[in-house]
Structure 1
Amino acid sequence: MKSYLQVYTGNGKGKTTAAFGLALRAVGAGKKVFFAQFVKGRSYSEIKAVEQWLPPITVRQYGRGCFIVKEPEQADIDVARQGLAEIQAVLRSGEYGLVILDEAAIALHYRLFTVDELLEAIRSRHQATEVVVTGRYAPPELVAAADLVTEMKEIKHYFNDGVVAREGVEY
């Protein structure tokens, strides 16, 4: 079966959630999943659920547990680049039917690594490994390389009314 590159981008909510939905579908089909989270480095409810109930999904975080507000620190760059190196090996291994690179587009936006480096890793993947890249600001080169692109568009969001992130809904 041919594998494809999918990109979930845009300023709307639901990119990571959609990727986890695809991961659940892949596990149901007997596939192993590698879920790499760039920039993120804290515990989220979906990760807790995966660790409890879905051992076919391996989750690794390549972030420092803090949000990059302006410019990334060298530590942010180092963690992301280490993650990209690990991901390259995972992609080539053929061990996983699905590899999700959550927030990799944000990592590109903050210049933690280059789009050429990311695309090189993706292009070198095992032929049976499907790849999903999520995150706002997907660059044109990534969009052009993708086989499927979904844009999540914010129409209305309760954050604009002062609602803070809620456990079990946003994290």
Structure 2
Amino acid sequence: MGTRGLLMVFTGDGKGKTTAALGMVLRAAGHQMRILVLQFIKGAWRPGETVAAEALPTVHWLTLGKGFTWRSTSSDEDRVLASRGWKKALEALTSNRYDLIILDELNVVLSHGLLDVSEVLSGLGQRSPECHVVITGRGAPKELCAMADCVTEMVPVRHHFQEQGIKAQKGIEF
């Protein structure tokens, strides 16, 4: 069987979902693949990975959110941002311009009901056949997991914040 674009989901309560996706970005960039990273939730700060991606000529990066949705006081605004972001994602998925698309924190958007799961599944089904897609975030819907070629669940065993109160650190968590 030949190669085809894979749909991969990184979910779970453990640390490392976005980090794993960004490892794939680095690997794909090394092969001169055309990459798009769409961040649905992040946006209240400029993380190190955004800065690093600017040095990779085949990586395009868009931040679509305004920060942590679960801290938001405006679910209507969050829905509008999610809808705009999904429109950009759908355009990219069907454009044949990218070899790898990362939909960072889309699972969180779906689990908070900011987008309709069936609409997203339909859009994913329309993607270019060669396009690989990675979706990250806690709470991946079971329908998405059933559709995916690969699902990885990050399971927390120990975390420095919970056990020692060590907060997120530059270069490690952001």
TM-score by length of 1: 0.95
* Distance in 1, Cα, partners of 2:74 & 2:122: 23
* Distance in 2, Cα, partners of 1:129 & 1:138: 20
* Distance in 2, Cα, partners of 1:116 & 1:62: 21
CA contact (8 A) 2:107 2:137 kept: yes
The answer to whether structure 1 residue 162 and structure 2 residue 173 are counterparts is no
Name the SS for the 2:9 alignment partner. strand
* Distance in 1, Cα, partners of 2:161 & 2:168: 8
* Distance in 2, Cα, partners of 1:2 & 1:27: 18
Structure 2 unaligned segments of length 5 or more: list them: none
* Distance in 1, Cα, partners of 2:13 & 2:72: 18
State the one-letter code of the partner of 1:93. Answer: S
The one-character-per-residue Cα deviations of 1:47-102 (angstroms, maximum 9, x if unpaired) are: 11111x11211111111134423775211111111010011010101110000101
* Distance in 1, Cα, partners of 2:94 & 2:68: 30
1:104 equivalent in structure 2: 106
The answer to whether structure 1 residue 37 and structure 2 residue 25 are counterparts is no
Alignment of 1:77-96 (within 5 A): 77-96=79-98
Deviation of 1:32 (Å): 0.6
1:133 to 97, 110, 135: 135
* Distance in 1, Cα, partners of 2:74 & 2:123: 22
CA contact (8 A) 1:71 1:110 kept: no
* Distance in 1, Cα, partners of 2:150 & 2:132: 11
* Distance in 1, Cα, partners of 2:16 & 2:95: 29
User: RMSD of the alignment, in Å?
Assistant: 1.3
* Distance in 1, Cα, partners of 2:8 & 2:136: 8
Alignment of 1:5-44 (within 5 A): 5-41=7-43, 42-44=45-47
Name the SS for the 1:68 alignment partner. helix
The answer to whether structure 1 residue 50 and structure 2 residue 53 are counterparts is yes
TM-score by length of 2: 0.93
Identity value in percent: 39
* Distance in 2, Cα, partners of 1:25 & 1:72: 37
Structure 1 unaligned segments of length 5 or more: list them: none
* Distance in 2, Cα, partners of 1:39 & 1:6: 19
* Distance in 1, Cα, partners of 2:119 & 2:74: 18
CA contact (8 A) 1:39 1:76 kept: no
- Alpha-carbon spacing, 1:31–1:79, altered in 2? closer, same or farther (3 Å): same
* Distance in 2, Cα, partners of 1:162 & 1:72: 30
CA contact (8 A) 2:69 2:78 kept: no
